[in-house]
Amino acid sequence: MAMIRRQNPTILSLLFSLLLSLFAIASSKVFFEERFIDGWEERWVKSEWKKDENSAGEWNHTSGKWNGNPEDKGIQTSEDYRFYAISAEFPEFSNKDNTLVFQFSVKHEQKLDCGGGYMKLISGGIDQKKFGGDTPYSIMFGPDICGYSTKKVHAILKYNDTNQLIKKDVPCETDQLTHLYTFILRPDATYSILIDNQEKQTGSLYDDWDLLPPKQIKDPEAKKPEDWDDKEFIPDPEDKKPEGYDDIPKEIVDPEAKKPEDWDDEEDGEWTAPTIPNPEYKGPWKPKKIKNPNFKGKWKAPFIDNPDFKDDPDLYVYPKLKYVGIELWQVKSGTLFDNVLVADDPEYAKQLAEETWGKQKDAEKSAFEEEEKKQAEEEAKNESESDAEDEEESDAEEAEADSEEAKATSIDDIKHDEL
């Protein structure tokens, strides 16, 4: 009798899920993907913005001072106190009825004090040679650092020709390693912000940006009812003031005060002991407070539908996305961008992140720590050499002083002999 071998249902389920995942990734649309391999300059246009003012910075094609793979390069700002603007074009598309994923990695090698690491998605119709700070954009996303007060992720959306900032606070990374930033915008008007493939914020365009008037407002006609009792505590009607309470003086004569021995009543007048606060005095009497049995809570006006609210089912839609750009002002240069992606599939973005940033982050961290160690050793060596030089100078000055003193003593001895 032939035996029937049963397949493990768990394995079949995993295989089925894997096949579905592979199919989804295979069917995802990638509108733009840049890893800055050879030929990247043919895809990107360096703007001439600020060039006539001699304040336009140059980009370096590099993997940086420390990295997880020296062959994996990005573009890095290279000059201090400069403006930077560069953009790349892709086939125009609309994200209507589709998810939009905007992702890139950024590293601040320069211990950034004040500056941005954000990128922009721009709709069609710009002159890339003139791309700059005044160029309209559709989405601006990425980290921004300035002093102690600003260390956040920008997520600015353009709606009806107005740039609207996200109202939620999303802290950004502030170290000198590469970090991955991902913005996901969905057809149901929800969004997610990820840092290093971990979700840091999520919500709705309706709630977290002021794109539309609120759906509901407080009823301007509503008034608090006259019998509404919003006092949580009231004086205890049964509490009585103790007898003699009002006779307790605020101050009393200091019982430890003594008349000075040298006090003269005829010359100084009659001595009076000073007063001190009376520890028995508790201030004006007030009955104690008790819970108000009629307390209804703090009155709030009820909400009503906002007559000015008009829903927009295309609130999330950007119909003519065509460019990705970087536009920055940097006091200290050293910011490096890489692995730029504009697509419609969060799973593909996650896979790309793991293939690039994910595989290199540990090696990069080790390289950074080794660089820090070398710098610390070099600084210690320089400090030791400086101390040795200072000591030599001090010894030389001391020897010179001894020599001058010896000469002076010799001259004094000669003069003394002559006398």
- The 10s digit of each residue's pLDDT in 377-409 is 887 777 766 666 666 676 667 767 666 665 655
d(CA 60, CA 52): 21
Alpha-carbon distances of 7 from 48, 142, 332, rounded to whole Å: 64, 48, 61
Alpha-carbon distances of 87 from 185, 248, 382, rounded to whole Å: 22, 82, 43
Question: What percent of the chain lies above the pLDDT cut of 90?
Answer: 70
d(CA 172, CA 117): 10
Q: b/e for 66-104, b at 16 or more Cβ within 10 A?
A: bbbeeebbbbbbbeeebbbbbbbbbeebebeebbbbbbb
Q: How is residue 41 written in tokens?
A: 């300059």
Give the confidence band of 6 by pLDDT, cuts at 50, 70, 90.
Answer: very low
Please say if the pLDDT value at position 290 is more than 80: yes
| pTM of the full structure | 0.74
Please say if the pLDDT value at position 285 is more than 50: yes
CB atoms near residue 225 (< 10 Å): 9
Contact 303, 214 (CB under 8 A): no
What pLDDT is attached to residue 411?
Answer: 54
d(CA 51, CA 395): 54
Kindly give, in sequence order, each residue whose CB lies less than 8 Å from that of residue 64, ignoring residues fewer than 6 positions away: 74, 76, 107, 109, 336
- When mean pLDDT is compared across 41-50, 56-65, 131-140, 241-250, the lowest value belongs to 241-250
Alpha-carbon distances of 189 from 5, 168, 183, rounded to whole Å: 49, 16, 13
Where would I find the beta strands (DSSP E) of 109-240?
114-116, 119-123, 139-146, 150-159, 162-165, 178-185, 190-195, 198-204, 216-218, 233-235
The kind and range of the H/E element at 282 are none
Give the confidence band of 277 by pLDDT, cuts at 50, 70, 90.
Answer: very high
Helix, strand or coil, per DSSP, at residue 32: strand
What pLDDT is attached to residue 400?
Answer: 72
* Burial (0-12, 13-18, 19+ Cβ within 10 Å), 138: buried
Q: Of 74, 264, 256, nearest to 180 (Cα)?
A: 74
Alpha-carbon distances of 180 from 66, 77, 193, 339, 347, rounded to whole Å: 17, 18, 11, 9, 15
Question: What percent of the chain lies above the pLDDT cut of 70?
Answer: 86
Q: How is residue 205 written in tokens?
A: 């365009």
d(CA 331, CA 115): 7
d(CA 94, CA 53): 37
d(CA 324, CA 76): 16
Contact 15, 9 (CB under 8 A): no
Q: How is residue 372 written in tokens?
A: 């820090």
pLDDT digits (tens, 9 = 90+) for 328-375: 999 999 999 999 999 999 999 999 999 999 999 999 999 999 988 988
Range of 82-96, 226-240, 259-273 with top mean pLDDT? 82-96
CA Rg, the chain, in Å? 38
Please say if the pLDDT value at position 74 is more than 70: yes
Average pLDDT, the chain: 88
